[in-house]
Protein backbone atom coordinates (compact mmCIF):
# COMPACT_ATOMS: atom_id res chain seq x y z
CA UNK A 1 0.00 0.00 0.00
CA UNK A 2 1.15 3.54 -0.79
CA UNK A 3 0.15 6.58 1.26
CA UNK A 4 -0.32 10.11 -0.09
CA UNK A 5 3.32 11.10 0.38
CA UNK A 6 4.52 7.98 -1.46
CA UNK A 7 2.05 8.68 -4.30
CA UNK A 8 3.45 12.22 -4.56
CA UNK A 9 6.91 10.73 -5.10
CA UNK A 10 5.57 8.95 -8.22
CA UNK A 11 3.11 11.39 -9.84
CA UNK A 12 3.46 15.19 -9.96
CA UNK A 13 -0.13 16.04 -8.89
CA UNK A 14 -0.64 18.19 -5.81
CA UNK A 15 -3.70 19.61 -4.06
CA UNK A 16 -6.25 20.50 -5.22
CA UNK A 17 -5.63 18.16 -8.19
CA UNK A 18 -4.25 15.13 -6.34
CA UNK A 19 -7.30 12.84 -6.29
CA UNK A 20 -5.83 9.79 -4.53
CA UNK A 21 -5.37 9.18 -0.81
CA UNK A 22 -3.84 5.71 -1.06
CA UNK A 23 -2.95 2.96 -3.48
CA UNK A 24 -4.26 -0.27 -1.98
CA UNK A 25 -2.90 -2.72 -4.57
CA UNK A 26 -0.52 -2.38 -7.49
CA UNK A 27 1.34 -4.42 -10.04
CA UNK A 28 3.80 -1.93 -11.60
CA UNK A 29 3.08 -1.43 -15.29
CA UNK A 30 -0.09 -3.53 -15.13
CA UNK A 31 -2.71 -2.37 -12.63
CA UNK A 32 -3.51 -0.28 -9.58
CA UNK A 33 -6.34 0.20 -7.12
CA UNK A 34 -6.55 3.65 -5.58
CA UNK A 35 -8.83 5.17 -2.95
CA UNK A 36 -10.13 8.71 -2.45
CA UNK A 37 -12.31 9.51 0.55
CA UNK A 38 -14.45 12.58 -0.13
CA UNK A 39 -14.88 14.75 2.93
CA UNK A 40 -17.14 17.34 1.33
CA UNK A 41 -14.50 20.02 1.86
CA UNK A 42 -12.96 19.49 -1.59
CA UNK A 43 -12.91 22.72 -3.59
CA UNK A 44 -14.97 21.36 -6.49
CA UNK A 45 -18.00 20.70 -4.26
CA UNK A 46 -18.39 24.46 -3.59
CA UNK A 47 -19.41 25.16 -7.17
CA UNK A 48 -20.65 21.76 -8.40
CA UNK A 49 -23.34 22.31 -7.15
CA UNK A 50 -23.75 24.69 -4.18
CA UNK A 51 -27.12 23.26 -3.12
CA UNK A 52 -26.42 19.66 -4.19
CA UNK A 53 -22.69 18.82 -4.16
CA UNK A 54 -21.68 16.15 -6.70
CA UNK A 55 -18.17 15.15 -7.77
CA UNK A 56 -17.73 16.18 -11.41
CA UNK A 57 -17.51 13.21 -13.77
CA UNK A 58 -14.37 14.58 -15.37
CA UNK A 59 -12.64 14.45 -11.96
CA UNK A 60 -13.71 10.84 -11.46
CA UNK A 61 -12.02 10.08 -14.80
CA UNK A 62 -8.95 12.07 -13.68
CA UNK A 63 -8.80 10.06 -10.44
CA UNK A 64 -8.84 6.83 -12.49
CA UNK A 65 -6.05 8.19 -14.68
CA UNK A 66 -3.96 9.07 -11.63
CA UNK A 67 -4.26 5.49 -10.33
CA UNK A 68 -3.14 4.20 -13.73
CA UNK A 69 -0.30 6.73 -13.81
CA UNK A 70 0.98 5.45 -10.45
CA UNK A 71 1.14 1.91 -11.88
CA UNK A 72 2.96 3.04 -15.03
CA UNK A 73 5.29 5.59 -13.48
CA UNK A 74 6.37 2.98 -10.93
CA UNK A 75 8.29 1.26 -13.74
CA UNK A 76 12.00 2.16 -13.64
CA UNK A 77 12.02 3.37 -17.27
CA UNK A 78 9.30 5.96 -16.50
CA UNK A 79 10.63 7.23 -13.15
CA UNK A 80 10.37 11.03 -12.98
CA UNK A 81 8.14 11.30 -16.07
CA UNK A 82 4.54 12.51 -16.42
CA UNK A 83 1.54 10.65 -17.82
CA UNK A 84 -0.66 12.69 -20.16
CA UNK A 85 -4.13 11.96 -21.52
CA UNK A 86 -4.16 11.09 -25.21
CA UNK A 87 -7.82 10.04 -25.25
CA UNK A 88 -10.89 9.11 -23.25
CA UNK A 89 -13.31 6.63 -24.83
CA UNK A 90 -16.51 4.90 -23.83
CA UNK A 91 -16.89 6.94 -20.65
CA UNK A 92 -20.07 6.08 -18.77
CA UNK A 93 -21.35 7.52 -15.53
CA UNK A 94 -23.69 5.22 -13.61
CA UNK A 95 -24.28 7.04 -10.32
CA UNK A 96 -23.49 10.26 -8.45
CA UNK A 97 -20.44 10.53 -6.18
CA UNK A 98 -21.26 12.60 -3.12
CA UNK A 99 -19.52 14.08 -0.07
CA UNK A 100 -18.79 11.32 2.43
CA UNK A 101 -18.37 8.66 -0.29
CA UNK A 102 -15.20 6.59 -0.59
CA UNK A 103 -14.25 6.23 -4.22
CA UNK A 104 -12.30 3.13 -5.25
CA UNK A 105 -10.50 3.42 -8.58
CA UNK A 106 -9.39 0.28 -10.40
CA UNK A 107 -7.27 0.59 -13.52
CA UNK A 108 -5.83 -2.17 -15.67
CA UNK A 109 -3.30 -1.38 -18.39
CA UNK A 110 -4.54 -3.42 -21.35
CA UNK A 111 -2.13 -2.37 -24.08
CA UNK A 112 1.20 -0.58 -24.22
CA UNK A 113 3.79 0.08 -26.89
CA UNK A 114 6.66 2.17 -25.60
CA UNK A 115 5.33 5.32 -23.95
CA UNK A 116 1.80 5.02 -25.46
CA UNK A 117 -0.92 2.77 -24.10
CA UNK A 118 -4.49 2.10 -23.10
CA UNK A 119 -6.02 1.36 -19.73
CA UNK A 120 -9.50 0.38 -18.60
CA UNK A 121 -10.70 2.21 -15.53
CA UNK A 122 -13.62 1.57 -13.22
CA UNK A 123 -14.73 3.65 -10.24
CA UNK A 124 -16.80 2.26 -7.39
CA UNK A 125 -18.53 3.51 -4.26
CA UNK A 126 -18.72 0.41 -2.14
CA UNK A 127 -19.62 -2.39 -4.55
CA UNK A 128 -21.54 -0.06 -6.86
CA UNK A 129 -19.95 0.82 -10.21
CA UNK A 130 -20.25 4.60 -10.59
CA UNK A 131 -18.13 5.22 -13.71
CA UNK A 132 -15.94 3.50 -16.28
CA UNK A 133 -13.81 4.53 -19.24
CA UNK A 134 -11.01 3.52 -21.60
CA UNK A 135 -8.05 5.83 -21.10
CA UNK A 136 -5.33 6.38 -23.67
CA UNK A 137 -2.10 7.81 -22.32
CA UNK A 138 1.29 9.06 -23.39
CA UNK A 139 4.26 9.15 -21.05
CA UNK A 140 6.36 12.25 -21.59
CA UNK A 141 8.84 14.76 -20.23
CB half-sphere exposure, 6, CA atoms < 13 A: 12
> b vs e for 101-135, b when ≥16 Cβ sit within 10 Å of the residue's Cβ?
bebbbbbbbeebeebebbbbbbbbbeeeebbbbeb
Selecting among 8, 48, 81, 134, the annotated active-site residue is 48
Task: Please tell me whether the peptide bond between 18 and the residue prior to it is cis, using omega within 30 degrees of 0.
Answer: no
Which residues are registered as beta bridge partners of 27? 31
Give catalytic status of residue 48 as yes or no.
yes
Would you name the residues annotated as active-site residues? 48
Amino acid sequence: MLNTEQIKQIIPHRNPMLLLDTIEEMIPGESATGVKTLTGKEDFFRGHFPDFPVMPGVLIIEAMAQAGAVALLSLPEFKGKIGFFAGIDEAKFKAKVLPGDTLTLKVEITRRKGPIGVGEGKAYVGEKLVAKAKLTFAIGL
